[in-house]
Amino acid sequence: MIDLLDGNQCAAIAAKLARVKCVPCFPITPQTEIIETIQKWVVDGEWKDVQFNQLESEHSAMSAAFGAQITGVRTFTATSSQGLFLMHEMLPIIAGARAPMVLVNVSRGVSSPITLWPDHNDVLAMRDTGFITYICETNQEVLDSIIIAYKVGENKNISLPSIVNMDGFIHSYTRTQVDVPKQSLVDKFLPKLKMAIKLDTKKPMTLGIPVLGDYMKFRIQLHKAQLDAFNEIKKVHNEWYKLTKRKYEFVEMHKLKDAKAAIVIMGPNTTIARAAVDNMRKKGKMVGLLRIRLYRPFPEKEIKDALKNIPNIAVVDQNICPGMSGISYPEVKSAMYGQKNIISNYIAGLGGKALSQEEFEEVLEETLNTKQEVRKWLM
């Protein structure tokens, strides 16, 4: 069914379609509409088989989500910005316990000073917690990725939680055309949750015990599960495509085959950057674009294969690691180790600062002509 939906509505609908059984939450702008939508469904009797709990803080919400998930209950929650930071303590605990819940983050720049508008410093600060992480470009992708994330994370060989990220306001409060799959289609795609290890009063066990010298073995297992997720995500992407004709990849390549310069980017600003590429192509400029959709596990091989023959590359980061560079920049450079590409870094869009097609064209023009690495803020 085609509908006009904003990103927050897409997230709530996806949770319902996934037959989530527990939603612990705490509201924060610009995520609040997700929680309000679910709460209204519960109050109106439209969603009956779910436990909805508004807690006293984001930390409590994530703690409750962990408690629900480890009893074998499919669990969902959402947050933004400072709320995600308050949840942070629980994230490595959940990943380490191999509890495959899904968290939607509606990106918003972190304080101080206060902003309500988006950048990716909140979600990328969680990159080392063990959560599989998807960075979405469109509202359709938000809806699809939540359902995909449950199927991937719940695979017994993966057993990892996921973050699905959208941008505040750009996604959360902007309505676009979205194809909402039928419940029967999602039921066919996503089986009932069967966790290999869970808390069960009939089979008592202890979780979270001190392991002392064996700790490293658990970190190795977690790392291996992240790497194993590559194949599972690819498999699940293909299954989703067969059902919906919507194809997702770890990275999206646009006009890279003969490009002499390319932008590397994530999130909804990709749409504007893609338009810049297309306009410059009309003028005979050999430029292209690479969008990173899957951020953890990090698709090093796919990035290297896509960019290895492109002389000049610009990583456009909607984030900043103060005192160093954008967060994605060193990760892309690491993926390109051993290559001779000139890789520049542009910091842009912090706190939701608008980016124009013309600005992306200027970045591409400068990248085409540069003889050395450039580091610049787009102000």
Closest CA to 39 of 12, 66, 58, 78: 12
Say what the pLDDT of residue 169 is. 97
Q: Say which CATH architecture domain 252-377 belongs to.
A: 3-Layer(aba) Sandwich (3.40)
Instruction: Yes or no: say if 313 and 341 are a contact pair by the CB < 8 Å rule.
Output: yes
- Contact (CB, 8 A) for 179 and 103: no
Can you tell me the distance from the alpha carbon of 133 to that of 244, in angstroms, rounded to the nearest whole number? 22
Asked if 250 contacts 293 with a C-beta cutoff of 8 angstroms, the reply is yes
Q: Where are the domains of the chain?
A: 2-244, 252-377
With a cut of 70, list the residues of the chain below it in pLDDT: none
Q: Do domains 2-244 and 252-377 have the same CATH topology?
A: yes
Q: What is the model's pLDDT at position 197?
A: 84
pLDDT tens-digit series, residues 9-45: 999 999 999 999 999 999 999 999 999 999 999 999 9
Q: Which top CATH class is 2-244?
A: alpha beta
Q: What is the pLDDT of residue 292?
A: 99
